[in-house]
A and B are shown apart, each in its own frame.
Chain A
Amino acid sequence: MKIHEKALTISTSSTIVLIAVLTIWSELSTPFKIWLTGIAGHHWVTKGVFSLVFFVITYFVFSKFSEDNVKKETSCVVVSAILSGLAIFLFYIWHFFSG
């Protein structure tokens, strides 16, 4: 199977951002957390399943696009991982002290 680099970059970066958004949103909205829990029995399991499905779908959707360059794509994934990780960590610090 030929690997489509740009699609892989977009699917990886957007999945990382999706994880951060689902994480923060589920803490801020109880109905959303209950909805996530209702799907797979636990909100964390649903987030994991959603991430995998989203990763696969975005890869196949964006594999129709033209290729880009490796340096730019790596930066995109690294920056999204660092910013999303920091967003989650800082959110939980704020959430702990504000609760």
Chain B
Amino acid sequence: MAHPLIGIHAALGEIGVLAFLWVFVELLNPTIERVKRAKIVALMGIIFLFMSWVTAGYYYVNIYGPEVKPIIKGGPMPWAHSIFTETKEHVFLFLPFISLFTLGLLHKHEKKLITDKNIKKSLLILCGLIVLIGLSMAGMGYIISTGARTALEAGFI
């Protein structure tokens, strides 16, 4: 059975990313109420991303490294670890900082962004970037799981 932390870290991360998709939608046509809601949702998103960081980190250091990594590296898809796990574990670290930056801008320009198109566009781009990086995390997670599954199917235990 797959370790529960795989699902837990993925769920926390996806909720965090979906929160920024929500912020994106709120800011498409911002009003005072929508900006207020966007600030709360962005803060929730950051909390979920940090919880994902901690759970993923615990799983990666204590379970994935000693148990799953050798299986993938010995299987038919060693590149699933060597390229995708390595990229995922490091590019993920961008997310908490970009999301903090986004919340910072949102707080600072909460009044101006309703009328200033440049600020609105900047925040939309940042939310879009967070969502795209988050989706790429999910995609790489799928490739890594496939790497482990194919190794087990091929008898590498």
Contacts and interface: CB of A to CB of B under 8 A. Distances in A.
B53 interface: yes
A95 B100 CA distance: 32
Contacts of A88: 86-87, 90-91
A95 B101 contact: no
A8 B83 contact: no
B91 A8 contact: no
Contacts of B97: 11-12, 15-16, 51, 55
Interface in B94-132: 94, 97-98, 100-101, 104-105, 107-109, 118-119, 121-123, 125-126, 129
A77 B124 CA distance: 13
B57 A45 contact: yes
Interface in B50-75: 53, 57, 60-61, 65
Contact of A48 (B53, B87, B91, B109): B53
A77 B98 contact: yes
A81 B129 contact: yes
Given A19-B93, A42-B61, A44-B60, A71 B122 contact: yes
Interface in A1-39: 3, 5, 8-9, 11-12, 15-16, 19-20, 23
Interface of chain B, main secondary structure: helix
B12 to A, nearest CB: 16
B58 to A, nearest CB: 10
Contact of B119 (A8, A70, A84): A70
A9 B97 CA distance: 10
A19 B94 contact: yes
User: What 8 A-B pairs have minimum CB-CB distances, sorted nearest first?
Assistant: A74-B122, A12-B101, A96-B82, A23-B90, A3-B108, A8-B104, A92-B86, A92-B83
A85 B98 CA distance: 13
Interface of B: 53, 57, 60-61, 65, 78-79, 82-83, 86-87, 89-91, 93-94, 97-98, 100-101, 104-105, 107-109, 118-119, 121-123, 125-126, 129, 133
Majority secondary structure, A binding face: helix
Interface residues of A, number: 37
A9 B126 CA distance: 12
Nearest to A5: B108
6 contacts: A42-B65, A48-B53, A51-B97, A70-B109, A81-B133, A85-B91
